[in-house]
Chains A and B, each alone.
Chain A
Amino acid sequence: MRMRTGAVLCALAGMLGAQDGSTHADWPHYGGERSAWRYSALDQINRSNVGRLQAAWAFQTGKVDGGFNATPLVVDGVMYVPSSWNRVFAIDAETGKEIWHYFYQNPREIGVIYSPWTRGVAVGLGRVFFGTLDNNVVALDRATGRELWRVNVEDMHQCGCNITGAPLLVKDKVVVGVTGGDSAHRGYLTAFDVNTGRRAWRFWTIPGPGEKGHETWAGDSWKMGGGATWMTGSYDPELDLLYWGVGNAAADFYGEARKGTNLYTDNIIALDPDTGKLKWHYQEVPHDVWDFDAAFECVLLDAPVNGVPRKLLLNVNKGGYTFVIDRTNGEFVSAWPVAENINWISGVDSKGNLLGRNEPPVGKPSLVCPSIGGGRQWNHGSYSPRTGWFYTTGIEWCQEVTVTPEEPREGINFFGGVFHLKPPMHGPAGGHLDAYDPVTGKKFWSYPSKYPLLASQLSTAGDLVFSGDPEGNFFALDARTGQKLWSFPTGSGHRGSPISYSVRGRQFIATPSGWGSALAGLLPQLWPETEDFPPGSTMFVFALPVEAR
């Protein structure tokens, strides 16, 4: 009976047509729309005129520590953006003039490794929502920046966790993830009532005693087994499903104490957004001993698979494989790599099983590719419905890892080993930005980079792909060929996410510029000169000269 109802619903959704994940004048959610396409339907700036793009305004946040890792949002001509240390700004998106700012007062001692950067806010229902370095969720009045409520989710010193990801607004709830996957912590996803701040529901990413999936954890390992929800999920209003990527199991490298598949770490979970109840899950990496999160963006797109239209969810795993699943039921569709240097598995079979698992031995160094930094980092890819391609980065690097037995310690990192970055097996260490068929992984072009590219991509209806590099260049590529058409030196490396929006008919491209983050800190292990790369925290906004439009 239930299956039949589901089938009817799917057929209805199919008749209603494909979900449009394009943004227009506004950039209302973290991933553009809640399908996480990071695609703008604006085309005033296009391949023929992008060479004339000019800086329109710049905005300084004043806090360069940790870099500028954010995605700005734009609603009704106002940009809302957070910077390190939980500074939140509302800026006139046309002129760059500040409307209000709110500086959250964090305690002087943070002492949590997931800091001090922050990636985004959620805006809606007259409010601005964000998470803090000391593990609070805060709601501000959108018009004035005045605080309406805040709630301390859990003692940060005890859990070794906090909030750096952007919340996601779904109906009358704000859904917030948590860091802590590399700490002795049991992860969860929490929804709060937008009006009162009261907790609406919590989904534990590790099932407790008596719950299905609890048997996938040995002994008491479930209590501190990681499973962070540190990035931002997606939402399909037609299916009324909330999707969220869950991070690695802890200890990251030492898995002997947590034998089992360790649900729901490294899973895509689909929840009922009203209740937080699990609808289905798909595990990318059972029993992870490499720190290969499934936490990155969930891109919701509709595309034919073997000639049959399917509702898909695409997730790039940190291990360097992109997993494509059916977002109505979690069924595996395909997997394809975004990096060339991958040795932790030899491949993924047609059912989604990992082949040739290469688990690092305990007590002696071994080479694992990619490094803990990932075959791709969290910085997000972009899907263009015009080309039908998915644009994302890949990183070529390895690490020497030594696994060590480790007991969980309250509030402290829980890695179970140490690592040091090493050059890859084949070719030089470095990065690339590529265009792929989202289902088959067929690569159409590749843009090489000396350093890993750690900024997100933006694609537009002008057939452009925007991104930035660690040396501070913000650039536009031809979405069809990968040819570089324009570049602008912003003076500090790129670790955030560009967006596009329009005000009174003028299209703007905005990008945070500001080098810093955990990963930026690791780069000197392979590229010593990056130790001296300048930090920054500036919003750069570009547009065509008025007469050129």
Chain B
Amino acid sequence: MIVAALLLAHAAADPALVARGERIFAQSCSVGYCHGVAGAAGRGPRLRGRSFASNYLYSAIRDGIPSSAMPAWKDRLKTEDIRAVVEYVNSLATATDAAPPANPMPPGIGPASLPSFNGPPPAARGRALFSDPTRENCGVCHAVGGRGVAVGPELTARSADVMARIHATESRHVLLARLQSGEQFPALLASQTADEVRLYDLTSAPPVLRTFARSQVVSMAQNPGWRHEDVSKTYSPAELEDIVAYLRWAATGP
């Protein structure tokens, strides 16, 4: 078994690919509390001196490991880089020492090989503005392509009239919820059962998903007076143009 594993690892080893994988591993994997340097034990399991099936490693890196701290790298590393990391991790199978070499850093380390956003400049600016962490932003309530919190409609496939929708002079989705206690607030209905009503409270950002016994909710009426403007006003008209460019780009696809 051990011999077979060694042979397999040896047969697969392409020195250039392993070296590339080592560089990427050092930048993206053996950081902080994740994997240790050169596959030593860390927050993640020890990789040195262990053998793995290449297709398992590839899918674990690409898709992440469910219910674990191992993230999916498919949007963060190029396919060929994931393959290189697989080769490098396989090359560690024969390491007999628990500790890595003295100098942990391979030479020539440079910027990460993150796939860059390939939309046009206005869309790129809009993408940053959409989820600008320095202010109230669209991503607090909306998701595009998996980025942001999808409380309101997923905006990926919505190209028509996006500019008008940003200002949202009216919305058939937003209701006015009235509670037995007298409290009322603009709401999105998240779910309901015979006993329970779950509503997103849109009074302020971020929206709050509140759960009520059905008897607590007196009414949920149309809310034509609701406006989107408070949030959209934090952006200048030029910035909103960029956000529209981003949404159009997201709708038509890269």
Contact = CB atoms under 8 A, between A and B. Distances in A.
Interface of A: 65, 85, 106, 108-116, 146-155, 157-159, 182, 185-186, 196-199, 208, 223, 252, 363-365, 372, 400, 402, 404, 406-407, 409, 412-413, 415, 418-420, 518-519, 521-525, 528, 531
B201 A198 contact: yes
A521 B206 contact: no
Contact of A524 (B41, B112, B146, B209): B41
Contacts of B149: 152, 154-155
B67 A418 contact: no
Given A155-B147, A196-B203, A525-B36, 5 more contacts: A116-B68, A197-B209, A363-B105, A518-B33, A521-B44
Interface in B30-52: 30-34, 36-37, 40-44, 46
B151 interface: yes
B105 A402 contact: yes
A182 B69 CA distance: 14
Contacts of B67: 85, 106, 108, 110, 116
A245 B147 CA distance: 30
A199 B208 CA distance: 9
B152 interface: no
Contact of A199 (B99, B133, B204): B204
A420 B69 contact: no
B158 interface: no
Contacts of A524: 40-41, 46, 98
Contacts of A109: 64, 66, 71-72
B131 A155 contact: yes
A380 B32 CA distance: 22
Contacts of B27: 404, 406
B125 interface: no
A502 B118 CA distance: 62
A338 B206 CA distance: 41
Contacts of A199: 204-206
B98 to A, nearest CB: 5
A197 B208 contact: yes
A521 B41 contact: yes
A115 B69 contact: yes
A522 B98 CA distance: 12
A222 B155 CA distance: 29
A323 B67 CA distance: 38
Contact of B42 (A146, A152, A400, A522): A522
Interface string B77-115: 000000000000000000000111011110001011010
Nearest to A109: B64
B206 A400 contact: no
A418 B34 CA distance: 10
Contact of A418 (B30, B66, B69, B211): B30
A407 B131 CA distance: 19
Contacts of B211: 146-149
B33 A522 contact: yes
B165 interface: no
Interface string B121-140: 00000000001011000011
18 contacts: A109-B66, A111-B69, A147-B211, A150-B208, A158-B131, A158-B147, A198-B203, A198-B208, A199-B205, A223-B134, A404-B109, A406-B112, A415-B31, A418-B37, A420-B36, A420-B100, A522-B42, A522-B43
A365 B102 contact: yes
A372 B42 CA distance: 12
B148 interface: yes
A484 to B, nearest CB: 30
A164 to B, nearest CB: 12
B133 A154 contact: yes
A146 B193 CA distance: 15
A420 B40 contact: yes
B115 to A, nearest CB: 11
In this complex, which of B27, B31, B205 has the most chain A Cβ atoms within 10 angstroms of its Cβ?
B31
Given A155-B148, A157-B146, A525-B99, A148 B46 contact: no
A409 B76 contact: yes
B148 A108 contact: no
Contact of B46 (A111, A150, A418, A531): A531
Contact of B208 (A65, A149, A158, A518): A149
In this complex, which of A116, A149, A159 has the most chain B Cβ atoms within 10 angstroms of its Cβ?
A149
B201 to A, nearest CB: 7
A416 B42 CA distance: 17
Contacts of B203: 196, 198
Contacts of A147: 211
B210 interface: yes
Given A197-B210, A413-B34, A521-B41, A110 B69 contact: yes
Contact of B104 (A106, A155, A400): A400
B159 interface: no
B201 A197 contact: yes
B70 interface: yes
A111 B72 contact: yes
A190 B19 CA distance: 44
Contacts of A182: 32-33
A525 B41 contact: yes
B207 interface: yes
A215 B27 CA distance: 30
B245 interface: no
B57 interface: no
A151 B206 contact: yes
Nearest to A208: B134
Nearest to A195: B183
Interface string B193-222: 000000001011111111100000000000
A115 B208 CA distance: 23
Given A186-B133, A196-B210, A365-B102, A420 B72 contact: no
Contact of A412 (B28, B146, B205): B28
A186 B135 CA distance: 11
Contacts of B26: 418
Given A152-B151, A525-B40, A186 B201 contact: no
A406 B110 CA distance: 8
Contacts of B30: 418
